[in-house]
Amino acid sequence: MLRRLHEGIELFNRAQYFEAHEVWEDAWRRARGDDQVLLHGLIQAAAGFHKLQVYQPAGAASLLAKAAAKLATIPAGPPVPALPEFRASVEAWIKIAGRMTAAGTTVYDSSSIPRLPEPRRGLLEKRIHSQVTIEAPADRVWEVLTGFQAYPSWNGFIVRLEGAARPGERLTVEIRPPGRRSMTFRPTVLVVDEGRELRWLGRVILPGVFDGEHVFTIAPLDAGRVRLSQRETFRGLLIPFMPRSMWEATGRGFEEMNAALKLRSEAR
């Protein structure tokens, strides 16, 4: 539960509210008691702020009110420090969204949306994030993302991807980070949610040595426009020994792939 909670917090603080909602929902299904209520409140808060992003302040006010009511039942302290302050900010945004609805406006100051306190990241963990807005419907972006056989023709980062987008499937993935040699690994597909999420887990040698959980998420913004997020969480004993240049090259690879996927998706 804590791993997904922390992953969602990082996404929420990056204004990726749809993506945070998806991560927390996955954890909420398995949680019980106060943990389940906390996650449900955070899910509704994320959904409310996503409604603001897609110009629906009335829906935002309704969801934020539900979020505040659930979060009010959770005692202060771990696993989310400063939860009362966050809840107070959510309650303030209920009023802001209500005023926006009454005035018929969708303009708001996104910089004043509250952030959640982020947990300290351990030495054995590293995360890389990248996102891009694509002027194309989700089904078209999904078609390009999962059209693995075409990757060599347009994808300069993942230059080969073989296998099926099916949970439990072993893929063969060859990546070529800018300025570095190609690497091939065989991750296992964890999640395939058509039009929304593709997630796989790769390992080097043994579990806990060098693991990488790679996630693609497609967030709907409005008709014919989405946000594609690509992120990976690396964990394991080898993390502290990896050179900074490797992380930087991998991040550039994410950016280049996102740009190429955007170009291909918008071409039609």
Q: Position of tokens 């939860």?
A: 83
| Whole-angstrom distance, CA of residue 211 vs CA of residue 208 | 6
CA-nearest of 156, 179, 176, 175 to 261 is 156
Provide the pLDDT for residue 78: 78
**Amino acid 169: pLDDT:** 97
Residue 172 neighbours by CB under 8 Å, 6+ apart: 160, 161, 162, 163, 184, 186
Give average pLDDT by consecutive 10-residue segment, the chain, 268 residues: 88 96 93 92 97 96 97 85 92 97 95 88 90 97 97 97 97 95 95 96 88 96 94 95 95 98 93
The Cα–Cα gap between 25 and 66 comes to 15
Sheet of 183-185: strands edge to edge? Answer: 158-162, 172-175, 183-185
Q: Give the angle 63-64-68 at the CA atoms, nearest 5°.
A: 120
pLDDT value, residue 12 = 96
Q: What confidence score (pLDDT) does residue 187 get?
A: 97
Q: How much is the pLDDT for 1?
A: 72
Domains and CATH numbers, the chain: 2-112 (1.10.3450.10), 125-266 (3.30.530.20)
Q: Which long-range contacts (CB under 8 A, 24 or more apart) does 174-178 make?
A: 175/253, 176/253, 177/246, 177/249, 177/250, 177/252, 177/253, 178/249, 178/252, 178/253, 178/256
pLDDT for res 52: 96
pLDDT at 39: 96
Angle 91-97-102 from CA coordinates, rounded to 5°: 130
Please tell me the predicted confidence (pLDDT) of residue 222. 87
The two three-digit tokens of residue 154, written as one number: 């347009």
